[in-house]
Structure 1
Amino acid sequence: MKQLTTLKWLLKREIWENKALLIWSNLALAGVILLVTILGVFRWSSIVFANNVPVNLQVETVSAGVAVYFNTGFTIFALMMALTMYSYVSGSLSQERKDRSILFWKSLPISDELTVLSKAIVALILFPLMASVTLILTMLISMFAVYIACAIHGVSLFAALFGNGVLWGRIGTMCLSLPVYVAWALPTVSWIILVSSRFIRRVSLWVALIPIAIYFIFAIFNEISGLKMGTSGLAYVLFTRGLFSIVPNNWMSNFHISPALDAVPNGAVHFGGSTDLPAWSLFASADIWLGVIAGVAMLYAAARVRRSHGE
């Protein structure tokens, strides 16, 4: 119970110290999207109704645009989340050594393991959760703006907008994929935290440089020795799983993608997801569990490094 209470306060500390990355960045992005969307919606509605477009065509246009709009919003929020999460994790342990605040925190009865765990929880759970909630609210407010703009011209599209199964399917898939994302992104987050625990400056450079160096050393050794061992597997471990797992739906490039995505624009395929993508089936693969094991091991190593390099 004491450990849980301590963890709760550590999480509050992380949220308080990183409001700009965790909260304000999402709200600012939502504000920009809503401003552009609302201005565009009212301009679009005035043009459409001025040309007396039949209601059935209006409904079809709106219904088709909902999925594209949601996928576009998902893409923007996914990129923002990945960048802010990366920024947070890369400075998670290095910053406290840089400003010497680690001396204060080590004077308290707080274990290194619990400190590292709190930072991993914020990165893996709170960042995706905040981005998802903000995205959903932004999309719903945008849908209300479309409805109001059409209602001003005497056309009700409430059923077409809020009864759209594609929209709710996208939202449901995104929510159901959150546990998969947490497990899938764990190796990358753990790797960045481990590097942050060892280096004080240029953490982002070391995060990328070490895997690149390992890959080239292996490739050169492979060429000189004549063993001809495949480097594609190593590239997958080091880069796809090691560096880029924090990108939402990164697993879609390596596992089954539903044929339903054929109707989604190419630019949104990687990020958008589909209503019947069996994301939870990834838990039946060894890939995700090996990543979880590696991630937990790196978090433990980060706690040990923090303990030994705390001054």
Structure 2
Amino acid sequence: MKAFIALVRREFIEHKGAFLYGPLLLVILLFGATVLAFTVGRVDARFSGAMFTVAPLRIYELGFLGFGVAWSLYLTGTLFFYCADGFAADKRNNSMLFWKSMPVSDFKMLLSKLTAAVTILPGTVFAVALLSGLLLYGVAFVTTMINGTGSFTALGNIAVVYGHVGLAILVTIVCGLLWYLPFMALVGALATAIGRWAIPVSLLLPSIVAMLEWVTLGGLHPFSTHTWDYLGYRTTFTLVEDGYVDVWFIGKEPFNAISYTTDLIARMDWPQVGIGVVFALICLYVASEYRRRSNVNG
């Protein structure tokens, strides 16, 4: 178990540039640009503070939720590049024999990489997302104080919004990771054989499968097949459409993370999530066998 934890920690150390330093740099640049804009007069603090007094909580909610969406998109893209790079790193840097000497199997070695991809690496980005929301609220509170309309009561209300939106972002990230787990495992499994070309090849495979179905079973065209329809459903994480978010957005009630979480969990296709977990484990097993046999033959 200690060896497995050490492997997961290794993944964080080797990729903290993309999952920690990069996001922190973006937050620092954004915060610095915001402060500079107020300092040099590019933004009227009194006008901004007046805006926050019209519907302050809604503006705070929309701002933080916008940050959450942006960080979720960043995390999704970065994780797929991580899978293409991390699963092939041992072979690429000629350290395969060293890691093979550890008291873990090839399957556990690859499982540690996937575990890092769904735990510590997203957790780091989530922490940075919380920091960006905290800085956003700090700027909003300062502008209202400059405007003369701010109060510590408003700061308390902001804290409540911060907690609700932060919880919603966390739940969304967890559900998104579960939903896209099989695709990350597929990219990682392909990377053990073909390295960083795993991403374009993984995008090509569905087209090949849809083409084969079209040729064998018929249809209007390769993009009008059961395979393509299923992949279109399975690759789109639009579980919040026509749900709580739409109702909240057109209403006047404060954002409620419990209602959002309940709605999201109820709308998740959990059998598909289970199928995805099984598929991911199969991908890792096949990749580990290839890794083990190629090491022996090499």
- Structure 1 and Structure 2 fold alike (TM over 0.5): yes
Letter of the aligned partner of 2:19 in structure 1?
A: L
TM-score by structure 2 length? 0.82
Shift of 1:109: 2.8
Tell me if the contact between 2:133 and 2:162 (Cα under 8 Å) persists in the aligned partners.
Answer: no
State the Cα distance separating 1:196 from its structure 2 match.
0.9
- Residues 115-264 of structure 1 aligned to structure 2 (within 5 Å): 115-164=109-158, 165-223=160-218, 231=224, 233-241=226-234, 244=235, 250-252=237-239, 257-258=243-244, 259-263=246-250
User: For residues 133 and 220 of structure 1, do their structure 2 counterparts lie closer, same or farther at Cα, with a shift above 3 Å needed?
Assistant: same
Taking a change above 3 Å as real, the CA distance of residues 213 and 157 of structure 1, as seen in their structure-2 partners, is: farther
| SS of equivalent to 2:149 | coil
Contact preservation (8 Å) 1:94, 1:196: yes
> Is the Cα contact below 8 Å between 1:81 and 1:131 reproduced in 2?
yes
- More divergent stretch after superposition (194-203 vs 135-144): 194-203
Cα deviations by residue, 1:24-63 (Å, 9 ceiling, x for unpaired): 12212222332344445672423356xxx5xxx7423332
| Aligned position for 2:260 | 276
Aligned residue in 1 for 2:46: 46
Give the equivalent residue in structure 2 for 1:10.
7
CA–CA distance in structure 2, aligned partners of residues 230 and 83 of structure 1:
24
Conserved? CA contact 2:52–2:140, under 8 Å: no
* 3-state SS of 1:235 partner: helix
Instruction: In structure 1, list runs of 5 or more residues that go unmatched.
Output: 265-272
Distance 1:162 1:20, change over 3 A: same
One-letter amino acid of the structure 2 residue matched with residue 93 of structure 1? F
> One-letter code of the match for 2:47?
I
Aligned to 1:308, what secondary structure does the other structure show?
Answer: helix
Relative distance call for 1:94 and 1:284 in structure 2 (3 A) is: closer
| Equivalent residue number for residue 267 of structure 1 | none
Counterpart in the other structure of 2:254: none
Gap regions ≥5 residues in structure 2: 252-256
1:309/1:263 Cα in 2 relative to 1: closer, same or farther (>3 Å)?
farther
Q: How many residues align?
A: 285
CA distance in 1, matches of 2:223, 2:271: 20
TM-score w.r.t. the length of structure 1 is 0.79
Q: How far did 1:192 drift? A: 0.9
